Every structure is written in C-alpha cells, then in structure tokens.
Structure 1
C-alpha cells in the first residue's frame, strides 16, 4: 500500500493510500475521511488507458519504442538551436518535480517560456501588491468568525473539502453569504445568496466600506450600488454582517478572470483590512511554498501574446507538457490552425488529448500515480507532504532523464527535503489609495465555469449538463424555449448548443461549463487573449457573443 497525495488542480492535496485499484482516504481534520469522485477516474485514465506514444510520419501515427521517439526529439532540438521554440507547461500534476521540465529546457536559450497563466496569477499579483506575499491564514481561523462571505467562490464545484468544512461551520452556527453572478450549488449551504453584476465585486466592496464610513470613497453610494447591481436591502445585510461580527472572506478564482480582475481582488483585500478581518481573508497560497525554485533565464512571451507570435511565424517548433490548449486555451480553433503549421510539436501528457492528436511527437506518461513527488494545498497551509511512486510506469521524470541524456545535458534531479512548517504571520496591508476600475459590458457576455465531475481540460466523456444556460429574461428577448438550438458567435468562431432557461443567469450573460463539447464546439473557441489588468492572466470572462436562434436542426 503506497502513500498518495493528489496534486490535481483543485488543489486540496487530498491524502490517501493506494492499494492496487483501491483508493483509501486518510482522515482529514475538519473535513473527514473522503476523496472526490474524480480521483478514481484519474487513476483509470492516467494509468490504465490504452493510449500509446507515437511519432507522426506523413500524417500517420507510428509507434516505435520510446528510445527512438526520444532520439527524434533530441535530434530536432540539437539541430535547430537557431530556431525559436515555444514551451508551454500546464498544471497537469502540480507537484514540485514538474519543475524539472523547466530546468531541462533552460539549457536552450532559443526555447521561449510563457509568462503568466490561465490560473491564479492575477489574484496572486493583487496580494503581492497589497501585502508583499500571497498566503492564507490557518484554515482553523474560520472557527473564530461569526460570518463567512464567499465572493465568487463556488466551493461545491471546485473545492469539495472546503465545501465539507463550510457545511460543518454552518452547523456550528456560522452565517454563510454567497455572492456570485451565477447561481451555483454552493447556495445550498448559504444563509443568503446575493446576485451581483459580473466583474463588479470591487464596486460592492467599495460600497460596504463607504457605508461603514471606514475610508474616503470619492463616489456617491447610489452610484456604487448601481454599478454592482446589488439591491439596497442586500447591501444593508452585508453592512450589518461586517459591522456586527468577525467575518471570514473567501475570494473565488473566477473574479480575477476579468479585465479588471486584479482590481476586484484588491478591493476585497481592502474590505478585509478596513473591517479588521485580515486574519480571516483567504484567496490562495503556493502549493510548493518553501521549496527551492529553478533559476530560469530563458526569453519569455506573455500568455496574452501566444496567438500573435504564432500568427507571425515567430516559432519554428513547440513543446507542450501537461496541457491541452486546444481545449483550455482561448481562441482554440485559431490556435489549432497555427500549431498545425509548426514544423515540430512535442506533446507530453497522460492521455492522447485533442492537442496530442495534432502533435508530431507524443509521449504518454502516467501522471501523479507514477511519480514520487511533494506538494501542498492552495487553500490549507499545513499540508506539504511527500507522495510515493504508486505504479512502476513511465513518469515525467523518466522522460526528462531520457531526453537530457540524449542531449548530453547534465541535470541534478533530486527530491527536496520537506521544509519545516512556518507559523503564519499576519499580513501587513500597505496600499494607501486604490482606484476603482469599471468593466463595461460589450453585449451578451459568456461566462464559463467548472463542474464537480471534472477539472479544467480533464474531460471524462460522460458529462450530460452541456447546455448554454440563459436567463428567462434573455430567453424571452430572443424568443427561445427550453432546449432550442442556438448559435453563439464572435470574431473567433461559432459554437452550437441547446439552451437551458435557468435562474442560474441574469439578464445580459450566458453560462457554459468550461471545456465541454456542445453540439458543435466548446466555449474556448470564442474566448480571446485579452490580458487582465495585472498582465499576468487572461480575461476569459470578458468574452462577448451574438446569439442566433437555429431555425432547423436535426
């Protein structure tokens, strides 16, 4: 029986033991003994799928032995040191050992790394600017509060252990308030749900601060309320909440996926500071805090510039590790067209994904189940733990060693010692003044989000809620009935799906589950490479579309 810690991108770092095909959860303080239903699917998908490594020869996938594939990869890198190569490394397994991919390619100055990501960097930038660090206080601090406000944090779908802990806290008498433009299942544990206009949480935070007379906000209160579209009754409820008790604030990751995402997170930080709740403010912490980072000096391009660099033919080849950008990256149809033009495209992943299908070289690895590693949690501060190599199958480290040997590159691969746990130090707020950045709607907005049954691009093929959700008001405006087929489109393309008329949405925006196929296409065909205000992320939720009713569909 092997000790296991899940390092997928929830990331809650679930503890378990693996015995053959059995996953045995370890008891976790506050949330009990369970792992999410996805973990068993990951085991089957990563360890026991029938996908094979290949080289694409004249449009045909051939399956030579691994050493021949490695030699072909090394030959391309060696011969083309004067050609620019794009390197994209996704989250995949968020364990520490994935850093050795970066270290391998750091030996080649023609390989360009990507600065920024689709994940959490915009919110992290907000915390660095306000506090100099991005850390979470001990999760146990939530037991001290009277109220917990979830700003866009849909714990039910994205943080199952946090959701379990919130249920326990609610049973202990904590009041939970859930604020989100999309009515999600987290409402089940909420004492009050407050619908807010997308990308306007900064205006709501400013309105609360102004109402409490805690800072000189140079805007009329009615103006702030109008911008976030929250009722006066809901605002009064929030003001009373912050006035009459300690209040935990948990910030969702989706808030930083707008053009003003950093500004939104910073105003929530400001609210926590002025209401004396910094010890109860949670966003994210590093899952590898305290571990050494590789010193990388390669040239970089910003994530928002990937499409433009590919479009002008800047890159001769590409390397994609633990990422499926044809599903998870913006403008994915255009991205596919450009990646197909590369002379060389290596994809390393646990499965033959959509991106792997267009690769010149594909290596199947077996993910977190095949790799000894170390990882912690994005949310919980006290969980940095070692994981055993559960199955004796090909791992990322095995491939890194093989490629480095063929390239005659010396990499000292070693398992780092687990750092001692540091006591949490209260963050010090250092921002004197902060402007409010408005995000103006440019039409019908498309928002996408996660579902409990899968994570990001890790699709399992049994998803049934693949609808385009629309509000009753907009359904009436477009003369739609439930499950009618529509096209939604913009300059990036068109996708087709059935609408579901639902109170999940309000007027002016649609919702889809991200990365999931509709009748034709998926949401990221329509998203763009618009940068966030930190210039470290992508404003995925600033996607605006036209909707057209499909007259005939079979």
Structure 2
C-alpha cells in the first residue's frame, strides 16, 4: 500500500491510497484525510486509466516533414539546448498553466525566469475573484472548511454542487440531514435543485446587483454591523452609492423577484450562522471581480464574517504554505504577453518570438479565441510541448516531451479550499521513457546554464516547507501523506482585516452591464468526469450539446435534439440542442474541454474578453445565438 495525492487542477487535493497486486492496481480515497475523508471524484478515479491509456505519448516525438517520429532523450535535450542557446532571451516565450500543481511544478518558471525569457500573464480561472477579495480585505483568506459544520444556513452563490466538489457536496448532504438550510443562486443547469432547499434563478453575470439589492434593504432597516462600519474605509460613500439605486431597478437587473431579495435579506440580517459558498464562475464575466466584491461585502456588512459558522468560501492560495526554493526575479511587464490574446500580442512585438516552451496547459484549446492561439503556436519557428497526449497544442508543436503523471513522480502540494498539504508520492515508474517535468527541466538546466538554477528535488522540498504554517518534517509529511497546517480556523475574526490598518475597503462603483447585445450568455461549464481538455478522443465522437431553456427567446423554431449552429461574432460551431428548463432564458450551457480537432471546442468562438480586475478571461460574457444547421456533421 502506498500513499499519494491528486495533483490535478482542482482545489480538493485528495489523498489517495494505492494498492498494487502484480500488474493490477487500485486507487481509493484516504479515509484519514480531514477534508476528502476517503472520497475521490470520477476524475481522480480515472487517473489509473489515464496513466495506462493506449493513446499516451511515452517517448519524445520530433516533427520531421510534417510527421512525428520518436527520438531519444539525448537528442531531444540537445535540440532544446541548441535552440535556446541560439536565441536572445526575448525570442523565447514560456507558457505555463496549472495542469498539475505543487512545489516542483514551479521548476519551469524558475528556469525561464533565470534565462530572462518572455512569459504570459492573465488568468483563465479565478484571479478576478481573488483580486476582488484582496481589494476588499487586504488578504485572500477564508474560514477553515471544517467550520462549515457550524452553519445554520448556507447560501450557495453559483457553485455547481453536482460536478465541482464531491466533498463539499457530501458535507452539504450531511448538514441538510441535521437541519442546515441550503439556498442556491445561479443561472441554473447545475443540478443544485436536489441539493438545495430552495434555488433562485439569476440572470447570468448580475450577482453584484442581487448583493447590492440585499445590502440596500439591510441599510434601510438599520441592519448593518456597526463594528464593520467602524473597521472600514469609504462606508458613507458606499451607502450613498447603494441608495442611489431603486430596489426595483436592482431586482430588474438581476431578474430576481423582490420577494426572493427580501427573503435573502432576512437570512443575512438574522441571528443565524450564515456561510456563503462562492463558485468559480461568478468571476468569469466582464464585471466578475465586482460580482465577488459585492458578495463578500454583503457578508461583511451583515456581520456574517469572522465568526463560527459565518464566512465566505471562495479561494485560498494553494501555494501559501510554501516558501520559494529559488531566488529568481519577477519578469518585468514589458516581457509579458497576454495569454488571452496570444496571436495579436506576439504579432505586435518588435522582436519576434522564435521559440516556445509550453507546459501544464493545452493553450491551443483552453484560451478564448483558441483558433488564433493555435495559429500563434503554428507560426512560431520551434515549439516544445511537455505533455502526455496528442492534444490540440501538442499536435502543433515541433517537439513533444512526454511527462510523468500523478503517482509517477514525487510532489508536495497545497489546496485552494482547505488547510492541508499533501504528499503525492511516486507509486509507479513512468510509462515508457516518460520523465517528470521537474527532471526534464533540471536536465535542460545543466545543459543551458553554467550554474544550474534547478537544485535537487529533495532540496526544493526541504526549502519549501520552511514556513510558519508547517511544523512537520519532510519525513513526517511523506509518511503520513498529508499534514494540517496551522492557519486559524476563523478568517477576519473580530472584523480585523488584512490591510496594515486592519480596515476593510468598500467598493466605489456599481457598474452596469454593457448595452444589451444580441444573444444569450454562453456558459462553458465544468464536466463531471474530466478536467478541462483531458477528455479521451474516444469520448468526442458526437456533436457537442448545448443546453438551453425552452423559454429562451433565442431558441426560435429549433427543437430538442435537433442540430443547429451555435454562433458568435467570431465564429460558428455545430451543436445538438438539449432542452433544460432549469436554465435562465438568458443563458445556455456547453461543457468545456472539447478539442478543436474534433470540432468540439466552444473556445474557438469565444472572444478574448477581459474581466474588470485581475486580468481574467471573461468567458461567460460571450453573447451567442442559434441558427438552423444546413451543414453535414463532417463539414
């Protein structure tokens, strides 16, 4: 029996128990882990299938005359080193994502920053919401997830409880049995009806108006927490801003009834313990940061913060427990290119990029307007992709370096949801000649630098855990498989916030949505069984499905199960219509991650819109509409 942990791009960071019997292996959750408690999701259970998948790349592949051919690692390293040494640093671009997480996962960043190469900026996920919380409170913090046990009422702002976290869902099921009430607010299509006492449908992207409407009622009723006002900056201006808006106007903007707004205000002004879950979707709009600022402002002003059973849950930095194991300067802004608009950013540069190193991300698939991102990869003279499968990015590369996967390499990582760190131990030898990302970079470092900036893995681990929140040795972490860090259970206790003066900053604006554009909001939501684009090719043999309400004014004469064209200002995608009347009429849902190769990728028709703060991708502000399909499936 061996202990490992999941390194996928997920806040769960589940601890695993792996048992090997000859050539067979089984994986199950570690029942001793205080958060995952023996549960692992479908994505975690599928890791063994992914490791052993017949499509997996297990030897370096070099593209010659348009075709990939296997080569040795020696040849691969010589090619990479020669390409890098033959160029100025500004002709090299490093593109890194979070396809896996951990202490050693930072090695490629250390390497390319030491080189002085270009890197990307901008977030494809949660940064707008993280920055919103920091702007409000001066730090990114939340109550320990165990404190959710003490909530009398849980208000779920946009979290898909049926797909995004089986551990939160299991906890909510248990709490509901003991009397905790759950109210879910979302544009629908998430299966929350079965997991909630009540669901409230909201117009997509308008959570800030709902939060503002609740705050307005609290202000009018004198139900604002006085100590928070005392420990805040800008309350009078904020109060005047909110009272400028009529309740009916705010209700109309979010399309939530006054009755439901009053019901929510009664919850937040009650003496009950109220915890607020905030899903990683409310920030994916043009004013996504403002959505999160207003929700968390509501939590603070209502006094539902910094107390047992009362707080908000959105994100904590998965790396906050670790020290840096390398002293490398941050890349200056002039050496950064916006990830969301890669092609245009690179074309605008005077010095052209001739070499790309891509790891931890399927960039030609996952960014908005990924068709142009794919062109940017294709236009580069030499592209190295570190990956295990021939995805949309790997197929456009010159050299593919096969990486080890979870349970084939050692790693230590933290969570964006709970306060445990996990040891993800090596259980299996990598398939074929695959190497860990860390070993690849360390070997390359020895060939490119006179003094290799990448130390041994053990050195990195020992340096990383030298922080106040970790009191265990590396040996203890390895033996137990996880340890709990020493962060306080309650965040912002006594309404003392993270700024130097301890005071909260209140929002100064409440922005309107852009003038109404044609179409519905296209929501590219998570899959239940796959992380992002880690979908087997064999599962992409049908048209992608678009879920839409029969009440949508954009459905026209199209019927359930019929084929249609999903259209935006930048392209079209053939889909099959699925009627789902739990979805708001101004929204439609397509599941993310499908490959361009199989005409499954909605990102090919999503523009590179930017969030108000945090330079996030505002995927969900993309407007779309439907047209009858006159094309065959092969077109």
User: C-alpha displacement at 1:41, in angstroms?
Assistant: 1.9
2-structure distance, mates of 1:377, 1:281: 16
Q: Secondary structure at the match of 2:461?
A: coil
The answer (yes or no) to whether the contact 2:203–2:586 under 8 Å persists in 1 is no
User: C-alpha displacement at 1:366, in angstroms?
Assistant: 1.6
The answer (yes or no) to whether the contact 2:157–2:278 under 8 Å persists in 1 is yes
Please tell me whether residue 269 in structure 1 is matched to residue 307 in structure 2.
Answer: no
Q: Secondary structure at the match of 1:301?
A: strand
Please tell me whether residue 327 in structure 1 is matched to residue 327 in structure 2.
Answer: no
Per-residue Cα deviation, 1:440-479 (whole angstroms, up to 9, x for no partner): 3422121110021111121134367931112212377510
Per-residue Cα deviation, 1:139-187 (whole angstroms, up to 9, x for no partner): 1221222100111111221111111111111112110011001231122
User: C-alpha displacement at 1:385, in angstroms?
Assistant: 2.2
Of 245, 251, 258, 1:219 maps to 245
Query: Structure 1 residues 204 and 475 mapped into 2: Cα distance closer, same or farther (>3 Å)?
Result: closer
Q: TM-score, normalised by structure 2?
A: 0.83
Cα RMSD, aligned residues only: 2.1
In the other structure, the counterpart of 1:252 is 279
| Paired residues, number | 552
2-structure distance, mates of 1:474, 1:263: 27
The answer (yes or no) to whether the contact 2:204–2:586 under 8 Å persists in 1 is no
1-structure distance, mates of 2:28, 2:128: 36
In the other structure, the counterpart of 2:26 is 22
In the other structure, the counterpart of 2:486 is 422
Query: Structure 1 residues 477 and 323 mapped into 2: Cα distance closer, same or farther (>3 Å)?
Result: closer
In the other structure, the counterpart of 2:259 is 233
After TM superposition, list the pairs within 5 Å mapping 1:152-551 onto structure 2: 152-213=158-219, 214=224, 215-216=239-240, 217=242, 218-244=244-270, 245-279=272-306, 280-293=311-324, 294=326, 295-298=328-331, 299-312=335-348, 314-381=352-419, 383-393=420-430, 394-408=435-449, 409-410=451-452, 411-413=454-456, 414-417=459-462, 418=465, 419-420=470-471, 421-424=485-488, 426-427=491-492, 428=497, 430-440=504-514, 441-444=516-519, 445-460=521-536, 461-462=538-539, 466-474=544-552, 477-516=555-594, 520-551=599-630
In the other structure, the counterpart of 1:90 is 97
Q: Secondary structure at the match of 1:340?
A: helix
1-structure distance, mates of 2:11, 2:314: 12
User: C-alpha displacement at 1:398, in angstroms?
Assistant: 1.4
2-structure distance, mates of 1:317, 1:31: 41
The answer (yes or no) to whether the contact 1:47–1:366 under 8 Å persists in 2 is no
1-structure distance, mates of 2:172, 2:278: 14
Query: Structure 1 residues 415 and 186 mapped into 2: Cα distance closer, same or farther (>3 Å)?
Result: farther
The answer (yes or no) to whether the contact 1:155–1:163 under 8 Å persists in 2 is yes
Query: Structure 1 residues 391 and 271 mapped into 2: Cα distance closer, same or farther (>3 Å)?
Result: same
Query: Structure 1 residues 46 and 105 mapped into 2: Cα distance closer, same or farther (>3 Å)?
Result: farther
Q: Secondary structure at the match of 1:443?
A: coil
User: C-alpha displacement at 1:237, in angstroms?
Assistant: 1.7
2-structure distance, mates of 1:4, 1:332: 34
2-structure distance, mates of 1:322, 1:553: 35
Q: Secondary structure at the match of 2:559?
A: coil
Gaps of 5+ in 2: 225-238, 472-484, 498-502
Q: TM-score, normalised by structure 1?
A: 0.95
Runs of 4+ in 1 over 6 A off after TM superposition: none
2-structure distance, mates of 1:432, 1:83: 41
User: C-alpha displacement at 1:432, in angstroms?
Assistant: 3.6
Query: Structure 1 residues 82 and 551 mapped into 2: Cα distance closer, same or farther (>3 Å)?
Result: closer
Query: Structure 1 residues 259 and 498 mapped into 2: Cα distance closer, same or farther (>3 Å)?
Result: same
1-structure distance, mates of 2:63, 2:200: 52
Q: Secondary structure at the match of 2:211?
A: helix
Per-residue Cα deviation, 1:253-309 (whole angstroms, up to 9, x for no partner): 111111101111000110010111123211101112121235343322233442312
The answer (yes or no) to whether the contact 1:46–1:350 under 8 Å persists in 2 is no
1-structure distance, mates of 2:550, 2:30: 45
In the other structure, the counterpart of 1:4 is 4
2-structure distance, mates of 1:105, 1:551: 48
2-structure distance, mates of 1:501, 1:387: 42
In the other structure, the counterpart of 2:232 is none
